[in-house]
Amino acid sequence: MSGKTTGYFLRRSLCPCNLLGPLHMRRISANASRPCSSSEPTKQGNSVKRSQFIPAAESKHDWVGPPHRLSNLRPIIYHIPENETELEKQLRTLRQETEDWNHAFWTNQNITFNKEKDAFVLSQLKEKGLTERDEKGRKRALNSEEMAVFYKHFLDENCIRHANYNKDWYRRNFTITLLMGRVAFHSVWRTLAERRGWKKGGPTT
């Protein structure tokens, strides 16, 4: 592992099926953050690059990094096996593209959420004749009932966006599941062919 790597990556054993719903995103621990967060505000100008970590050439595992500070999702680098078939490459590419797509969505969504939340809090404090910080320099906050107004407004404003996200998420995972089934089937077929000395060529699925 390179010393220049930001954060850390954990080795993950290869598993034939590890798809979870959009609100789980392959957590390593129960304390992992959810994709949509009300954490400290972030600025649009911050970098949203994924980690540049590159596993060693002899690695036989997927690698999972710490939650990204903007998307709150753990980046995954998928293992590239030796003699990767075209079907296996198609599956790995789609899974990686889906990771990147999900990361981009929640990065933008969380930035928007925090930006609008800050604006709402400031507007409510202004209406009360209060400044952002109190006499001791501590940041003022609204109570749960006041913030509930903002949360409802944000969810209503983003209802269609979230619905489209869920549709795309399930469409992608359905395709990934089908590809995983095809890869598993071809793997079994290849193993049987090798054991029984069958001629090259596999089933068409």
Task: For residue 21, tell me if it sits in a domain.
Answer: yes
Q: Which of 51, 52, 75, 50 is nearest to 64 (CA)?
A: 75
Q: Which of 66, 87, 83, 74 is nearest to 18 (CA)?
A: 74
Q: Which domain holds residue 148?
A: 10-196
How many of the other CB atoms lie within 10 Å of CB of 121?
Answer: 19
Task: For residue 4, tell me if it sits in a domain.
Answer: no
Phi–psi pair at 7, nearest 5 degrees: 75, -150
In the prediction, which pLDDT does 144 show?
Answer: 93
Task: For residue 93, tell me if it sits in a domain.
Answer: yes
pTM of the model: 0.68
User: 172 near 98, Cβ under 8 Å?
Assistant: yes
In the prediction, which pLDDT does 14 show?
Answer: 40
Report the alpha-carbon distance of residue 94 to residue 182 in Å, rounded: 14
How big is the CA angle at 78 (ends 179 and 182), to the nearest 5 degrees?
Answer: 15
Q: Which of 49, 50, 59 is nearest to 1 (CA)?
A: 59
CA 184 to chain centre: 25
**pLDDT interval class at 17 (50, 70, 90):** very low
Report the alpha-carbon distance of residue 71 to residue 78 in Å, rounded: 19
The domain total for the chain is 1
Task: For residue 204, tell me if it sits in a domain.
Answer: no
Report the alpha-carbon distance of residue 199 to residue 28 in Å, rounded: 43
Task: For residue 119, tell me if it sits in a domain.
Answer: yes
Report the alpha-carbon distance of residue 33 to residue 30 in Å, rounded: 9
Task: For residue 1, tell me if it sits in a domain.
Answer: no
Mean pLDDT of 43-55: 54
Phi–psi pair at 47, nearest 5 degrees: -70, 140
Task: For residue 202, tell me if it sits in a domain.
Answer: no
Read off the pLDDT of residues 91-134 as tens digits, 9 standing for 90 and up: 999 999 999 999 999 999 999 999 999 999 999 999 999 989 88
Task: For residue 203, tell me if it sits in a domain.
Answer: no
User: 1 near 57, Cβ under 8 Å?
Assistant: no
Which one of 30-44, 160-174, 182-196 scores highest in mean pLDDT? Answer: 160-174
Report the alpha-carbon distance of residue 2 to residue 63 in Å, rounded: 14
In the prediction, which pLDDT does 32 show?
Answer: 34
